[in-house]
Amino acid sequence: MSLPVDAPAGDALGILSRFRVEFYECLYARQDALFELTDAVLCADGPVKTLVELSLAVEHRRGHGALYAALDR
C-alpha cells in the first residue's frame, strides 16, 4: 500500500504500525525470533548471503541458535 506524497507522517506511521502487528500475528511459532529476523533482512546493507550474517545484525538480538530454531519450524 502506498500513500500520497502529501499525506501526514502520522498516517504513514499508523499504517506501518498496523502492518507490523498484523505480520507478527501471522507468525505461528517463535514469533519474536522470526520478527527480529525480518527486521534484520530489511535493515541489511545490501543483499544477505548467509544466515550467520543476519544473526550478527544489530536488529537480531538473539543468538544464531534461535535463528536456526525459528527457521526449522
4-43 pLDDT, tens digit per residue, is 777 777 788 888 889 889 988 998 888 888 888 888 888 8
**CB neighbours of 71 closer than 8 A, spacing ≥ 6?**
34, 37, 51
For the full predicted model, state whether its pTM sits above 0.85. Answer: no
Q: Determine the Cα–Cα distance for residues 31 and 34; give it in Å rounded to an integer.
A: 5
What are the cell numbers at 41? 533482512
SS (H, E, C) 4-42: CCCCCHHHHHHHHHHHHHHHHHHCCCCHHHHHHHHHHHH
Whole-number mean pLDDT of the chain? 80
10 Å CB burial of residue 54 (0-12, 13-18, 19+) is buried
- Average pLDDT, stretch 49-69? 76
